[in-house]
Amino acid sequence: MSNPIIHRELIRVLRDKRSLLLQCGLSLAFTLLIALRWPTEPRMALSGERAQQVFRLFSFGLLGAILLLLPVYPATSIVRERRQGTLALLLNTPLGPLRIYFGKLLAMLGLAGLMLAISIPAAAACYALGGITFRQEILGLYVVLALTAVQCTAIGLLVSTLAQTTDSAVRLTYGTILAVSVLALAPYQFFVGSEGLTLKFAEWLRCASPLAAMMERIGATDVGSHGLSAAGTVMGRFVLMSAAISVGCAAATISRLNHRLFDRPRAAGKVVEGPAILRRLMFLVDPQRRSRSIGPLTNPVMVKEFRCRRFGRLHWMLRLVAFCTVLSLALAILSTTKTIAWDVPTIGALLVLLQVALIVLITPSLASGLISAERETRGWVLLQMTPMSAWRIVWGKLLSVLLTVLLIMCATLPGYLVMVYLDPGQRFQVQRVVICLGLTALFAMLSSAALGSFFARTSHATAASYVLLLGVCALPLLFWLGRDAPFGHDTVEAALTINPIAAALNVIRLPGFRDYALLPAHWWLVGVASAVSLLLLLWQTRRLSQPR
């Protein structure tokens, strides 16, 4: 018996204009990638080294496309049904939770299969260049990609049953996939060289990441950092870990697909007894205390954003700051006590990656919905009725994001202080790194707010902002992976100029990035892009403020 959910979901996705643009963009990108490296002379290298380098670049690009573009659709699938009222109708049909879940799962996997099918001609061209075996490289690549697609879809559908809104579902899904794909590699870096159960746990946790399996399968040991591609059992463990994660997420999602999904009673609250000094000692502020009135010189839109945001209260922000501070200091202390044999540039690189990851994860979730959320909830009409100008409304919203991002950035500065203490000669480099990260945060905030203002739905604005920032941070690194073959020094340098990660790593003289001159061109480029984003935001806000 055919499943009507598959037909309904897949046809809806394929009829979307964004899906058509996605297919055309992927096809064009893969075609250009192979055309850049296709030999112009009727000769073929016997070693196949350059063909393997192009194939690795193609493999990482395709994996990045799966991780960036696919999770949006399953993350919004169930939560959108619940908010529109159609999920209750589905649960009252004879389909049952099992068929509903597998219908949505297979529909999303159909979209992933279409993305992989578009890449087959490019993979065949790589195979025609020579130096690549079908079973080891080609088949292994698509096995990793298929398992990654299933894993991302299962995670997205589970998050979609837990989230309250579509934009929060997108944020949680991207955060979870980042943790599984990137953060799962970190424990192995800390405990490599040691023995015991801790190392075994770190090895198995690393195998949950598709990046580690990809590096081992395509033989990318020259582009992987220490511990990512060592060992020859990553692929087998990745199959087991991916299957376990997918099955676990599927079981949890199916168990939640019932009428209890709609029973979300509000907390009854409780009367807190005892002196407020105890709560102040625990939180530094009293979370039970009533907020003060808005001052005459305070922007009311900024206060509204803080009080309406789920984690905008001061005690939640202090917890986030404390977590970032402890994490940055832990990296420096572990290196100072020789627990980990890392030099100062490596410590700086980890701090840079930590801050950029926090900026990319947190800033779009805060800034992308500043205007789109008001349009979706009809709150923009209420703001138009106030005596505030469009500029004051925008400034209040931007200020709420700016203060939060500044707190997070300042929380990671103690790690840089320890790095300067270890090597006083790094003071000038640290100052330039802080400038790079500050400009990155400004660009992330303004570009996310400007891009999100053109969407009427918060989920679409959040997804577009994440794709933009992750593309700016990840896509130029593909050119860096293909340095010397097929891309020359000037091409790689031009691509890295727009990358905030590469600019900061270039400042701290990390090997692999020190040979490129990225500053001050990167500062000028980011500054101009931020100014253009601000102008677009003001123009769109003024256009929306006009009477209709």
The number of beta carbons lying within 10 Å of the beta carbon of residue 399 is 16
Q: What's the confidence (pLDDT) of residue 228?
A: 44
Give the pLDDT confidence score for residue 293 in this predicted structure: 67
Q: How confident is the model at residue 47 (pLDDT cuts 50, 70, 90)?
A: low
* Distance from C-alpha of 461 to C-alpha of 80, rounded to nearest angstrom: 15
What are 314-352's pLDDT values in tens digits?
656 666 677 777 766 666 666 555 445 556 666 667 777
Pair 394, 245 in one domain: no
Do the domain assignments include residue 277?
A: no
Q: Is 457 domain-assigned? A: yes
Indicate whether 198 belongs to any domain: no
- pLDDT band for 290, please (50, 70, 90 cuts): low
Q: What is the predicted pLDDT for the residue at 548?
A: 65
pLDDT band with cut points at 50, 70 and 90 for residue 468: confident
Lowest mean pLDDT among 283-287, 443-447, 497-501: 283-287
Whether residue 165 is found in the same domain as residue 312 = no
Q: Which two tokens stand for residue 88?
A: 């209750």
Mean residue pLDDT across the chain:
78
pLDDT for residue 271: 47
Domain that holds residue 19: 4-37+46-174+233-262
In 3D, which of 314, 348, 315 has the Cα closest to residue 331? Answer: 348
How much of the chain, in percent, has pLDDT values that exceed 70?
A: 78
| 535 and 495, same domain (yes or no) | yes
Structure tokens at 347: 């410590």
Q: Which amino acid is at 353?
A: L
Residue 530 has pLDDT above 90, yes or no: yes
Q: Are residues 302 and 251 in the same domain?
A: no
**201-259: pLDDT as tens digits:** 878 888 888 888 888 777 654 444 444 444 457 888 888 989 999 999 999 999 988 88
SS3 content of the chain, % helix, strand, coil (to 5): 75, 0, 25
In this structure, what token pair is assigned to residue 535? 């102008």
- Residue 190, in any domain of the structure: no
Q: Kindly report the length of the chain.
A: 548
Q: Is the pLDDT of residue 150 over 70?
A: yes
In a domain, 203, yes or no: no
User: Per the domain annotation, does 189 fall within a domain?
Assistant: no
Better pLDDT: 45 or 196: 196
- 194 in a structural domain: no
Examine the domain organization and report whether 246 and 347 are in the same domain.
Answer: no
Contact call for residues 349 and 326 (beta carbons, < 8 A): no
- 372 and 468 assigned to the same domain: yes
Question: Does the structure show a pLDDT above 50 at 489?
Answer: yes
Whether residues 156 and 248 share a domain: the answer is yes
Query: 396-452 pLDDT, tens per residue?
Result: 888 888 888 887 777 777 777 777 776 777 788 888 888 888 899 999 999 999 998
Q: Are residues 309 and 245 in the same domain?
A: no
As given in the structure block, the two tokens for residue 400 are 């709420």
Q: What are the phi and psi torsion angles at 480 (to 5°)?
A: -65, -35
Judge if 360 and 453 occupy the same domain: yes
- Residue 461 and residue 388 share a domain: yes
pLDDT for residue 76 is more than 80: yes
pLDDT at 188: 73
pLDDT of residue 292: 64
Q: What is the mean pLDDT of the segment spanning 441-466?
A: 87
Which of 128-132, 213-217, 537-541 bottoms out in mean pLDDT, i.e. has the lowest?
128-132
Note whether 483 and 396 are same-domain residues. Answer: yes
Looking at the predicted structure, is the pLDDT value of residue 383 above 50? yes
Tell me if 289 is assigned to some domain.
Answer: no
Q: Are residues 298 and 168 in the same domain?
A: no
Q: In this prediction, what percent of the chain has a pLDDT beyond 90?
A: 10
Q: Is the pLDDT of residue 18 over 70?
A: yes
Residue 193 reports pLDDT greater than 90: no
- How many domains does the chain fold into? 2
Burial 514-544 (b: 16+ CB within 10 A, else e): eebebbeebbebbeebbeebbebbbebbeeb
pLDDT score for 230? 45
Category of 231 on φ-ψ map: left (φ > 0), alpha (ψ -120 to 50) or beta: left
DSSP 265: P
Q: Is the pLDDT of residue 531 over 90?
A: yes
